[in-house]
Homo-oligomer: A and B are copies of this chain.
Amino acid sequence: MRQVTIYDIAKEAEVSISTVSRVLNDTAPVKGSTRAKIEELIQKYNFQPNAMARSLLKQETGIIGVIVPDLTNPFFPEVFAGAEHEAQQSGHTFLLSNSIGDYAKESEYLSIMREKRVDGIMFLGGRINLRHCEEHLVQELVQCASVIPTVLVNGGLRNTDLIRVATDESAGTALAVRHLIELGHTEIGFIGGESNMTTTSIKLRAFRKAMKDAELEVREEWMLPDSFSIDSGKRQMLNLLAMKERPTAVFCVNDYTAIGVIKAGVEAGLSIPDDMSVVGFDDIPLAHHFIPELTTVSQQAHELGRTAVKVLKAMMSNEKVKKLTSLEPQLVVRQSSGAPMR
């Protein structure tokens, strides 16, 4: 059934559409009796003005497009919740797309968002690094950013000047590694993360630097990037377990891989943290419910989402925004990193 339009209301109230519009938006005085009649009809037909017609004219949709790599990883819903929280006040809603790390999909979604004239774009996950196959995505992203306020959340992009909001993952990594070192560990591994992702490369670099700063050797066979899933943690832990020598502690790129590592360790008969210390990254809600509780680096996911939307809103109202808004991560010490080594 066709929905009721402003014309239907106007006709039945025997006024022009302008008058109905005035009642709707309260933009000009309307006679009490006329207003009453119109309001009654609006009520009666449960009339909702067509947002598209309005958007077409106003040149704004009230929609923010969000692209996340994997909503199934609890980190992202947290960010999203933060974003939603901030968007609440301004009445923005979200067009959400899950790219599951598929470059083609990501640029396709981006183009759909441009088509739909979203008011802003939030691109999460930063699975970007200039490699040939991603050329197109990068191009599309830059294209989008030139017409639509766009922020990159936790993901940089070399040779472009897109606005970014990000946790200082480098500092976070240093925090985690230093914590392990302070506990007495000298043999530390690195697990998880697709190597072509910004976040992975940042963490890898920071890891190496922290080790170097402590004058510790980085053992290349213990550097095991993979992906961000629980299974990748398991897989790499199994690899580690098969080695003659293994580290006494591992740094994991996120909590999901940390959970995988612990799980595989426990299945192999290890006790975590007694036989191996594990730290994660993100502080997903589950981190402090897992057994053992995860020592991890909190990204303040909620805040990250909020900030991203704040920046987006500032851009929408043509305010100047910083090229990079950085959030400080925090080390959350719990059980999985264990006690100081004797």
A211 on the interface (CB 8 Å rule)? no
Which of chain A's residues 225-239 have a Cβ closer than 8 Å to chain B?
A: 230
- Which residues of the partner chain B approach A308 to less than 8 Å between Cβ atoms? none
Which of B46, B74, B78, B93 makes the CB contact (< 8 A) with A97?
Answer: B93
Q: Are B72 and A84 in contact (CB under 8 A)?
A: no
CB contacts under 8 Å to B, within A284-302, are: 285-286, 289-291
A291 cross-chain contacts in B, Cβ below 8 A: 262-263, 266, 290-291
Cα(A97)–Cα(B290), bound, Å: 28
Known: A77-B71, A96-B96. A115 touches B263 (CB 8 A): no
A66 to chain B minimum Cβ distance, whole angstroms, is 8
Interface, chain A (partner B; CB < 8 A): 1-3, 46, 48-53, 55-56, 59, 61, 63, 71-72, 74, 77-78, 80-81, 84, 91, 93-98, 100, 109, 111-112, 114-117, 143, 146-147, 230, 259-260, 262-263, 266, 285-286, 289-291
Closest to A71 in B: B77
Extra pairs beyond A94-B95, A95-B95 (17, CB < 8 Å):
A3-B117, A48-B111, A48-B114, A49-B115, A51-B112, A56-B56, A71-B77, A72-B77, A72-B78, A72-B81, A72-B285, A77-B77, A80-B98, A93-B109, A93-B112, A95-B96, A290-B290
Question: Which residues of chain B are within 8 angstroms of A2 by Cβ–Cβ distance?
Answer: 59
Beta-carbon nearest neighbor of A143 in chain B: B46
| Pair A51/B116 contact, Cβ less than 8 Å | yes
CB closest residue in chain B, given A118 = B51
Contact partner of A74 (CB less than 8 A), chosen from B49, B74, B96, B260, is B74
In the complex, A147→B49 CA distance in Å?
Answer: 14
Residues in B with CB closer than 8 Å to A289 are 230, 259-260, 263
Cβ of A262: which chain B residues have Cβ within 8 Å of it? Answer: 291
Most chain B C-beta atoms within 10 Å of own C-beta, residue among A72, A78, A80, A259:
A72
The docked-state distance in angstroms from the alpha carbon of A115 to that of B5 is 11
- Of chain B, the residue at the smallest CB distance from A88 is B105
Verify A71–B63 contact, CB threshold 8 A: no
* Option from B52, B78, B147, B266 in Cβ contact (under 8 Å) with A61: B52
